[in-house]
Amino acid sequence: MPASSYPTSPMALNRGSSPTSSLFKKQKNSSSSPSTAASYLSALSQADARARNAQRGTPTSTPALSLSSSLTSSTEDTVLAEEDTDDSDGLAVPVGKPPNSEQLYTTVHTEFGHCYNEEYRNISQHPLGAPIVRHVDQEPPYYILFSTYISYLILIVLGHMRDFLGKRFHSYSYRHLMPHDGYAPLNSDFDSFYTRRLKQRMDECFLQPVTGVAGRTISLLDRYTPDYNHTQIMLDTRTRALNISSYNYLGFAQARGGCADAVEEGMKRYGVTFCGSRLEGGSSDLHILAESVVAKFVGMEAAVISSMGFATNSTFIPALVSKGCLVISDELNHASIRFGVRNSGAHVRMFKHNDMKALESLLREVISQGQPKTHRPWKKILLIVEGMYSMEGTMVDLPTVLTLKEKYKFYLFVDEAHSIGAIGPHGRGVCDYFSVDPRKVDVLMGTFTKSFGASGGYISGNTALIDRLRIRGYSGAYAEAITPPVLTQIIASMASIMSIDASVGLAVSVNKLGLPTSSSSSSTLHQVTEYHHPGPISQRALPHWLSLPPPLASGAEGLMRLRRLSFNSYYLHRGLDKLGFITYGHPSSPIVPLLIFNPAKMIMFHRMMKDRKTPIVIVVVAYPATPLVTSRVRFCVSASHTKEDIDSVLRACDEIGDVLDLKHGLSKGERWSVNEVCERAVELVHIPDNEH
Amino acid sequence: MASATSTLDTMVLSIAQSLSAVERTFYKLPGSAIIERYVRSSHQNDPGRTFLELIIFFLVVRTLLQSRTRADRNNGKNFIEFTDKEIDELVEDWVPEPLSKPLDDVEAAELAAIPVVAGHNGPHPTLVNTGKPTINLASLNFTGLANNEHVKQRSLEAMRRYGVGSCGPTGFYGTFDAHLQCENDIAEFLDTEGAILYSQGFSTISSAIPAFCKRGDIIVADRAVTLAIQKGMEISRSTIRWYDHNDLHSLEEVLQSVEKERRKRKGPLTRRFIITEGIFERDGTMTDLPKLIELKQKYKYRLILDESFSFGTVGRTGRGLTELYNVKASKVDMLVGSCAIGLCASGGFCAGSRTVVEHQRINSPAYVFSASMPPLLAVSASEGINILRDTPSLLTRLQENVRAARVLLDQVECISIPSHPASPIIHLYLRNNSSSDNLLHPSASMSSSKPSNPSSPIPRDPPVFDIEKEERLLQEVVEEAMAQGVMITKAKRARGLEITEAQPSIRLAMSSALSKADTEKAVHVLVKILKRKFR
């Protein structure tokens, strides 16, 4: 099959009639579901032929948005372009109904799964006025807690015995832990005890080298260890696995498709690097454009971009607060926030995770007491919370925080590393989710790694603040500027979520999708100069050379991604609950932690998931990232997963959960069977939050 | 009366009976004999001792029962009790400072004058500010890799293989084969056992330092280390001793004084580190590596060397200071470099022994808690190394340009250049009218006087300069040069955030992508402006 390059792709042609109805109409006519690879492919070629005939009929209707850059023809956005169609692992070919011609050619199934069933969508939004459902931690039975503690005890005792004997009988291998030649050990045996004696036992769960795109599936580079994880030997083989671990919430980790084409164009125009820091000759027009796009996306006046997510916090927080200021920080805040706060010299107080009562009493205490010893009033108080917590999947109670903010006059810094793009009906993070004006928050920080398939981070706020940060944050003067390919990816992915408003000529009628547009959708030459949050972005606010294919430009695909992500999050969360597991976090969060407790079960869970016919790779996290007893598996669902993918994760969990005795949530009577969960998925997802 | 005594008697009797019952049950308890023996031996007919033990026992119980989380609050007498109403009033009265001061006119003007490149950055970029092509002496493109078509092609291919983002921290499926390849390439290039790749150059050293240095460890550092190192040391909470900038004699004195201090205190052996830079970001001076290695080995210190500005810029093939001085890179315990600066990609690395590298994979915050670098940038870094290895002419050209620039600049009277003659970054200080020429060579002036206090970052004779005035004058030079088609920049600083303030300077970055003629032309423009301005 020849490569069908984007501007002349069959998809482009249907825009004239009605892109929305054809994209999202339920396909009821396909009666039988060919499930084999062969039948799928034949359906595909038929569809393609149909589309091409249509193309010959109406060759003139090229949309305005795709005029430039017909050079990006190297993409082969067809299912057939995958490296191999070997479907022995059940990951290469979509299950279920074949798509029709309009639905093809946008993604590669292994990167971004094909899922055309309109029922598998959900809108991520907090119902206005509804009470916020607080997460209640479920307690496991006592025998589980007991056995967990015993396991750790055994591991620790054994470890110490091995150390004791090893130092005496095998001293050479302990050399780096003992003082030698007048050097103190780089790492004392005490400090590294946990790493050597506990973590090393489960090293196969960490630092797994991979290759390819970290999309819906990922290719593991197989390795084995001959000596209990002291060394890892790489094999030449690869295993393709279902990836429910990467931070790829909206599925923008793609090597092909509209965004990747844009990145290629960006690299051709800007190269790979900007050589130097932003203030010392590393700035470019692309930075300025990208920053304005980000500011519009999050709904703030201005934004500044840093080349690393971790560094966004660690290098900008010291520019916000200093000695004499107080930082109030949630106890589960990310390490980068702690790093930055420690560098700032400000005083820090912590409050219990997400506990608004504790926060208020702390606020009353610190404001009334003032600075320690001197009792002088604080210069300023900065509350730092995360929109969504990476280990718990819990969401900040933003409305309450804002009420407190009004009363106690602190400044609010929300780290949206995991929530931006991932939640809210328009993907604009927690503010969007709770329908709150983002400008009520002083500083919105976020990263591009998670939802946008890029890297780096941003800080946004009012113009005065951001300008101050540009020259006062370390990133501006000392750290390298973010690179062109990453910037282009950010611009392209954000624009496709916002939808592009061409404003003149062919107006993109996005209203039919239910996407609120500020501009009138009438075909008058009404020029939208001002941006209304959250709305489409004007074509003129984007690089002139950026041309996204219609489904991305119209926002239809972005919306589809948001809704698929929300569906998948709810489905996995509630599915696991119904199967009887203990999960943490908010159901709309794409992070779904499943509690495992016993340390030995973590490695077993990991291995059993990976050794299945359709291998699934998962992330297990344990102490010190979590409290000692609550070791967990952390699933990160993505818009790129199909409902069938989530089904297979649920089935796998169900089987393994029975073997490993992990079901301690719902009592047996209330549980659903896995078949019931899969069949009633849509119903499950649409239960309102407070009734579940 | 009698009845009273009888009731008293019965009371005494019943007490005695119950006491003996308690005693019997106590002896029946397993282990009671041990307690009894302990009490007897500790009592030794001395009630004072028992009393003391009881006090200790109660203190222990109290400490154990005390809530730990409220320690802050009960922290001594400092806590003042308020009623709710009072607190409400205090909250009402409290007026916080604004979150940030708006920029003043000078700052705003400076921010507006930042050169912004339109399109591809390189030796002759077009500036958005002026709309004209310029000669670039500001961007860090030392070996011209930023414009290498081959690197670009390979990065494009990598993008089509991996996408853009890595979508995960290194520990959790964020380690791509491209990263491993890049780490291998660096290690092989430098001839060390291993290397570890970070996703930002700046964060590399500020995270690597706290990975090794902990509370109680000793760091001996140069007084003019870059901000990234300062911040890393701050996080580490180690004891820091300072030596005069680039003065190894002063270093030796500090090392001796630390050793003396340790002997005096008879403390345990702690980890000791020397932290310095290869070519200093602040002024372009260069460390005498062989001497440094000698000192480090003599006093048994580990060396953390930041080669951000020397890796990829000096040495025959750009291996950095170790190649320049022909020292084995494995003699440097932690060799930190930047792929962003030296290889025109992104990120940084720390090379060293296998133990050093593996240690960071678990203990270095910016490695563990951050998404890994986009794989396509790792590929471009790898390609950069390949090119450096195969084309030593890039480095020769760079050095030629450096020499050409220095020849012109050294003649200018109104400026002084602290940078090493081989350094590809050249800092220009305004020479003060007064005879404070000495500040350029702190070692020269210091040798006669008493040494500085090693526990203070401020040297004994701190150089005198007027930051505001010099910054203003230099900014005028920069803007004038930009108007004449030469892109240069001041060394930008986060003023007020560094431990000691650096003297304002213009920082030129040489590039082998520029021809010698272009370099001379650009430097000539600058020289003319300087001469005219500060006659």
| Reported confidence tier of residue A667, pLDDT bands at 50, 70, 90 | confident
Rounded Cα gap, residues A660 and A648, in angstroms: 18
Chain A partners within 8 Å of B370 (Cβ): 308-311, 336
Q: Which residues contact residue B256 at a Cβ distance below 8 angstroms, ignoring those fewer than 6 apart?
A: B299
B272 contacts in chain A (CB < 8 Å): 184
Which of the given ranges, A79-93, B56-70, B76-90, has the highest pLDDT on average? Answer: B76-90
Q: Are residues A471 and B111, on separate chains, in Cβ contact within 8 Å?
A: yes
How many Cβ atoms sit within 10 Å of the Cβ of residue A579? 25
Integer Cα distance of A15 and A70 in angstroms: 18
Q: pLDDT at residue A195 above 70?
A: yes
Determine phi and psi for B317, rounding to 5 degrees: -115, 20
Which chain B residues contact residue A181 at CB under 8 A?
Answer: 300
Q: What angle do CA A392, A393, A394 make, to 5 degrees?
A: 90
A-B Cβ pairs (cutoff 8 Å, strict): 380
Q: Is B132 helix (H, G, I), strand (E, B) or coil?
A: coil
For A380, which residue in chain B has the nearest alpha carbon? B96
Burial (Cβ within 10 Å: 0-12, 13-18, ≥19) of residue A318: buried
Confidence at residue B533, expressed as pLDDT on a 0 to 100 scale: 86
Give residue A189's pLDDT band: very low, low, confident or very high (50, 70, 90): confident
Chain B residues in contact with A365 (beta carbon < 8 A): 73
Residue A64, Ramachandran bin (φ over 0: left; ψ between -120 and 50: alpha; else beta): alpha
Q: Which of A612-621, A676-685, B43-52, B228-237 has the lowest mean pLDDT?
A: B43-52
A36-48 mean pLDDT = 54
Instruction: Pull the structure tokens for residue B380.
Output: 């471009």
Strand partners, A460: A303, A444
A368/B102 CB distance under 8 A: no
pLDDT of residue A69: 37
B187-201 per-position pLDDT tens digit = 999 999 999 999 999
Query: Over the stretch A626-647, which tens digit does the pLDDT of each residue have?
Result: 888 889 999 999 999 999 999 9
Q: Once rounded to an integer, what is the mean pLDDT over residues A341-345?
A: 91
How sure is the predictor about A386, in pLDDT bands with cuts at 50, 70 and 90? Answer: very high
At B257, is the pLDDT very low, low, confident or very high (cuts 50, 70, 90)? very high
- Picking from A407, A324, A322, A412, the residue whose alpha carbon sits closest to that of residue B94 is A407
Share of chain A above pLDDT 90, in %: 52
Coil vs helix vs strand at B128: coil
For residue B302, what are the β-bridge partners?
A: B273
Q: Chain-wide mean pLDDT for chain A?
A: 82
Q: Where are the domains of chain B?
A: 32-95, 105-146+393-533, 148-390
The average pLDDT across B234-248 equals 92
- In this structure, chain B runs to a length of 535
Tell me the mean pLDDT in the region A321-328: 93
Q: What is the mean pLDDT of residues A537-545?
A: 90
Q: At what angle do helices A258-270 and A484-498 cross, to 10 degrees?
A: 140
| pLDDT computed for residue B147 by the predictor | 87
CATH among 3.20.20.70, 3.30.565.10, 3.40.640.10, 3.40.50.800 for B148-390: 3.40.640.10
Tell me the C-alpha distance between A436 and A457, whole Å.
22
Rounded to two decimals, the pTM is: 0.85
Two tokens, residue B390:
């195969």
Question: Phi and psi dihedrals of B286, rounded to 5?
Answer: -120, 140
Measured distance CA(A77)–CA(A70) in Å, rounded? 15
pLDDT top residue among B276 and A109? B276
Confidence band of A40 (pLDDT split at 50, 70, 90) = low
Residue B405 to residue B401: CA distance in whole angstroms: 6
The pLDDT of residue A3 is above 60 = no
**Cβ within 8 Å, pair A450-B269:** no
Report the candidate in B380, B384, B375, B377 with the shortest Cα–Cα distance to residue B311: B384
Q: How many CA atoms lie within 13 A of B503 on its CB side?
A: 21
Q: How far is it, in rounded angstroms, from Cα A161 to Cα A28?
A: 67
A35 pLDDT higher than 90: no
User: Is the pLDDT reported for residue B400 higher than 60?
Assistant: yes
Q: What confidence category does residue A30 fall into, taking pLDDT thresholds of 50, 70 and 90?
A: very low
3-state secondary structure (DSSP) of residue B143: coil
Mean pLDDT for chain B overall: 88
Q: Give the model confidence (pLDDT) of A396-439 as tens digits.
A: 999 999 999 999 999 999 999 999 999 999 999 999 999 999 99
Paired with A241 in beta bridges are: A218
Write out the two tokens for A141. Answer: 């039975």
Model confidence at B444: pLDDT above 80: no
How much is the average pLDDT of A347-371? Answer: 92
Contact A453 B99 (CB under 8 A): no
Written as six digits, the tokens of A292 are 């304005």
pLDDT at B113 over 60: yes
Residues of A in contact with B178 (CB under 8 A): 211
The complex's ipTM works out to 0.85
| Separation CA B493–CA B481 (nearest Å) | 20
Rg of the Cα atoms in chain A: 26
User: What integer is the mean pLDDT of A211-226?
Assistant: 91
Amino acid letter for position B120: H
- Encoding tokens for residue B49? 């001792």
User: Would you place residue A669 in the very low, low, confident or very high pLDDT band (cuts 50, 70, 90)?
Assistant: confident
Alpha carbons B243 and B250: distance in angstroms, whole number: 6
Q: How confident is the model at residue A74 (pLDDT cuts 50, 70, 90)?
A: very low
Given a contact cutoff of 8 angstroms between Cβ atoms, the answer to whether B278 and B307 are in contact is yes
Work out the average pLDDT over A221-236. 88
Are A468 and B112 contacting, i.e. CB atoms less than 8 angstroms apart? no
Amino acid at B73: R
Domains and CATH numbers, chain A: 10-103 (no CATH), 142-202 (no CATH), 258-497 (3.40.640.10), 558-691 (3.90.1150.10)
Give me the architecture of the B105-146+393-533 domain, per CATH: Alpha-Beta Complex (3.90)
pLDDT tens string A260-270: 999 999 999 99
Query: Could you read off the pLDDT of A432-478 as tens digits, one per residue?
Result: 999 999 999 999 999 999 999 999 999 999 999 999 999 888 888 89
Indicate whether A508 pLDDT > 50: no
Put simply, the answer to whether A275 touches B199 (Cβ < 8 Å) is no
Q: Which of A272, A363, A466 to mutate to test the interface with B (most CBs of B within 10 A)?
A: A272
Q: How confident is the model at residue A37 (pLDDT cuts 50, 70, 90)?
A: low
Nearest to A368 by CA among B88, B77, B78: B88
